Structure 1
Amino acid sequence: MLTALPSIRDAPTPLPPTVAPRGRTAAVFFALVVLIPVVLVAAVGTGSVPIPPGEVWSVVVAHLTGAPPADPLADQIIWQVRMPRVLLAFLVGAGLAVAGAVLQVVVRNPLADPYVLGVSSGASLAAVAVLTLGGTAGAGLGAAIGVSGAAFAGAVLTLLLVLALGRHQGGLHPSRLLLAGVALSYLFQAGTTFLQLRVSSNQLAAVLFWLLGTVGGAEWTELLVPLALVTAAMLWLLGQARRLNALHLGDDAATSLGVDVHRLRWWLLAVAAALTAAVIAVAGGVGFVGLVAPHAVRMLIGPDHRRLLPAAALTGGLFLVVADLLGRIVVAPLELPLGVVTAVAGVPFFLILLRRNGGAA
C-alpha cells in the first residue's frame, strides 16, 4: 500500500501560471459526464449484429438489478462479448492518460507519454517472447504466466533498469531518465524485431496485432487488475495534486514549498509505470493516448492537477472507446488495431505540439 509523503508546509495550493475559468472547467466535466454513457452505449450496440440503445440499457439494468434478460441472445452479445471490451478500452485509455499527465511533469517534457521510459518496449519484448517461443524449451515460465503476465513483468523490469540508469547524485535526473528510456526502447525493439523474423506468417499476424494494441476478446476477469490499479493510482495521485502542481513549477519552487522532490519523483514514476504496465499487459501497445488526452485537457481547463487528472482519465477513456469503435467499423468486417487508429489522431496532435513548443523538448 502506498504511504503518504511528507506534507507541504501550510500555504496556498501552488498552481502554474495559467488557470482556466471555473465555468469552463465545469463545462468540460459536464460534457464528459454526458458524452461517456452515450458513447459507451453506442459502442456496445455497434457490431455485426446492431443492437438499439434501448435494448443495451435494458440488458445493463437487468444485470444490475438481477432481473432475467428479455432476450438471451442479445444478453450474451452485450454482456459477455461487447461490454467487457468497451469497459476495458475505457480503463486502458484512462490509465494511459493519467500516466502521461504524471510523466509530463516528472520528466519536465511536454511531449512525454507513458512509453517514453521504454516500459512499453520492455513489455512488448517479453510478450512477444512468450508468443513466439511458447513451444520451445526454456519457455516454461513464460507459458505459465501467459502473455499478460510476461508483459507486466517485462514492464516492471524495464522500469527498474531505467531507474538505475537514471540516478544521478542520489536522485533521479529527468534528462538521464529520458535518455535511458530511449536507448532501452531501441534495444528492446531490436529484440522484438528479431523474434518476429523467426516465426511463421500465422504467428506474425498475432504478434503484430498485439504490438499495435487490441481489446478484442476481453473478458470480465481481465478488468479486475486494471480497475484496481487505475482506481488506487488515481486516488493516491489526487492526494498528491498539490505536490504535482509545485513540481510543475520546477524543482527549486517545489523544494521551497517543502516538497521532497527526489522522493516524490520516485513515487510518481513508480505509479505511472505501474499504470502503464497494467494496461499494456491486457491491451498491448496502444500509443499516443497518454500524449493526446492530457494536453487536450490542459488546453481546456489548465494545469491544476486536482482537475487535470480526473478530466484526463475521462478523456483518455472516451478517446480509446471511440478509437476501438472506429477500428471495428471503418474496414468492417476486418478490424484495425487500436494503435493504428490512435496514431491517425495522435501524430497530427504531436506535430502541433512540436510547433507550439518551437521544436523544443
Structure 2
Amino acid sequence: MLPREGSPGTARVFWPPFVGALAGLMALAGVSVLVGVGATPMVLLTGEAGHGLLVLAASRIPRTLALVFAGLAMGVCAALMQMMFRNRFVEPTTAGTAQAATLGLLVATIAAPDWPPLAKMGVATAFALAATLLFLKIIARVAFRGAVLVPLVGLMLGGVIDALSVFIAYRYDLLQALGAWTTGDFSGVLRGRYELLWLTVVLAGIAYATADRFTAAGLGDAFATNLGLDYRRIVAMGLSIVALATAACIATAGAVPFLGLIVANLVALALGDNLRRTLPWIALAGAVFLLACDIVGRLVRYPYEIPVGTVAGVAGSALFLYLLLRRRLRLG
C-alpha cells in the first residue's frame, strides 16, 4: 500500500539530515551571493557599499534564486520522467524534451520576435510536450526496452532535433542565441529576467501534492488502474509539468545536461522509489548540485566564468557513466 500523509514513510523526509542539507543549501546560496567581482564582502564594507548592494539586488540574488529554482525543477522533472517511463536514465536532456523546447524558442523568436517571454515559453512548452509524446510513442514500439536502449533512443531523437535547430538558426543568423539556450549559463540572469522560474516552484509543489499517484503510475498501467487511478491522466499531468518546467528553465538560462538524472538516481539509491519520500530530497539535491557547479565555474578562472552547464556536463557525464557501468556490472 502507498504511504499516506502523516505515515512514518513520509515523516522521515524531515529527518535532521534533511534540515542539515537545507542549511547546507542556505550556506551555498550565501557563498553564491558573495562570489564575484563588484560585490565582495570587502566592497560592501567600504565607501562603495551602495554600488555593491545594487549588484546584489539586481544580479547576485536573482542569479542565486534562479539557480535554486532551476536545480529543483530539473531534479523533479527527472524523477517524474523516470517514474512514467520506468527507466532510471530518462530525463529532459536524454529524451528530446529539452532539445524540443529549445527548438520551440527558436521558432517563436523567428515567427514572433516581439512576443513576451511568457508567450515564447508557451511555444517552447508545446514543442517539448510534442517531443516527449513522440519519444513515448517510439519507445512503445520498441520490442526490447533495455535500461540503456531507452535513453539512447532519446539521445538520438534529441540529436535529430538539435541538428534541425542548428540548421534553422544558421539560416536566420541566430546561432548565438541558440548557443545561449543550449548551454546553461546564469551569468546573464538579472532582476526582471528570471521570474518565469517562480512557476517551477508551483509545479514542483503540484508534483509533491500528487506524488503518490506518480509512484503508483510508475508501477504500471494495471497497478494504477487497480487502485482506481486514471493512468493516462496521471501521465498527461506529469508530462505537462515536465514540459512547462523545462521550457521555463531553458527560456531563462538554457539547458543543463544530466543534472536531474544524477540527483534523482543518487537519491533513489539511498531512499528508494517512493516519490512522497524522495521528491523533497531530489529537489534539494538538484538545487545544491547546480549551486555548487556554478560556484566552481566562477572560481576556477576567477574573475572569468565557466558556464554552469559546462561544469555540470563534465561532472554529470562522469556520474552518468558510473551509473551505467554500475548497473551493467550488477546485471552481468
Same fold (TM over 0.5): yes
Q: Distance in 1 between matches of 2:134 and 2:36?
A: 47
Matched AA of 2:35: T
Q: Distance in 2 between matches of 1:333 and 1:298?
A: 37
Contact 1:148-1:281 at 8 Å conserved across structures: no
Contact 1:123-1:150 at 8 Å conserved across structures: no
Superposition TM-score, scaled by structure 2 size: 0.82
Residue 32 of structure 1 aligns with which residue?
Answer: 21
Matched AA of 1:189: D
Change in Cα spacing, 1:98 to 1:199, as seen in structure 2 (3 Å) is: same
Which string of whole-angstrom CA distances, capped at 9 and with x for unpartnered residues, describes residues 66-110 of structure 1?
Answer: xxxx93122111111211111111111111110001000001110
Residue 213 of structure 1 aligns with which residue?
Answer: 184
The yes-or-no answer on 1:288 pairing with 2:265 is no
Residue 105 of structure 1 aligns with which residue?
Answer: 83
Contact 2:196-2:248 at 8 Å conserved across structures: yes
Contact 1:40-1:321 at 8 Å conserved across structures: yes
Change in Cα spacing, 1:53 to 1:344, as seen in structure 2 (3 Å) is: farther
Residue 224 of structure 1 aligns with which residue?
Answer: 195
How far 1:146 moved relative to its partner?
6.2
Residue 34 of structure 2 aligns with which residue?
Answer: 45
Q: Distance in 2 between matches of 1:356 and 1:20?
A: 29
For structure 2, the 5+ residue unaligned runs are none
Residue 186 of structure 1 aligns with which residue?
Answer: 159
Contact 1:327-1:335 at 8 Å conserved across structures: yes
Taking only the aligned residue pairs, the percentage that are identical comes to 27
Q: Distance in 2 between matches of 1:266 and 1:129?
A: 24
Change in Cα spacing, 1:55 to 1:251, as seen in structure 2 (3 Å) is: farther
Which string of whole-angstrom CA distances, capped at 9 and with x for unpartnered residues, describes residues 207-244 of structure 1?
Answer: 434421111221232333221x2232222222222222
How far 1:127 moved relative to its partner?
3.7
Contact 2:57-2:191 at 8 Å conserved across structures: no
How far 1:152 moved relative to its partner?
4.8
How far 1:204 moved relative to its partner?
4.6
Matched AA of 1:102: L
Q: Distance in 2 between matches of 1:116 and 1:196?
A: 22
Residue 3 of structure 2 aligns with which residue?
Answer: 13
Change in Cα spacing, 1:299 to 1:161, as seen in structure 2 (3 Å) is: closer
Which runs of structure 2 are paired with 1:62-73 in the superposition (5 Å)? 71-73=49-51
Comparing 175-184 and 329-338, the one that deviates more: 175-184
Picking from 41, 45, 54, the partner of 1:76 is 54
Q: Distance in 2 between matches of 1:253 and 1:28?
A: 33
Residue 331 of structure 1 aligns with which residue?
Answer: 301
Contact 2:89-2:151 at 8 Å conserved across structures: no
Contact 1:166-1:180 at 8 Å conserved across structures: no
Which runs of structure 2 are paired with 1:247-286 in the superposition (5 Å)? 247-286=217-256
Which string of whole-angstrom CA distances, capped at 9 and with x for unpartnered residues, describes residues 125-153 of structure 1?
Answer: 344467xxx7xxxx4x4311267754651
- Secondary structure of the residue that 1:100 maps to in structure 2? helix
Q: Distance in 2 between matches of 1:332 and 1:289?
A: 24
Contact 1:20-1:300 at 8 Å conserved across structures: no
Matched AA of 1:31: G
Contact 2:129-2:243 at 8 Å conserved across structures: yes
Residue 321 of structure 2 aligns with which residue?
Answer: 351
The yes-or-no answer on 1:301 pairing with 2:290 is no
Tell me the number of residue pairs that the alignment of Structure 1 and Structure 2 aligns: 319
Matched AA of 1:45: L
Q: Distance in 1 between matches of 2:2 and 2:307?
A: 46
Residue 4 of structure 1 aligns with which residue?
Answer: none
Q: Distance in 2 between matches of 1:243 and 1:217?
A: 38
For structure 1, the 5+ residue unaligned runs are 1-10, 57-69
Q: Alignment RMSD, CA only?
A: 3.4
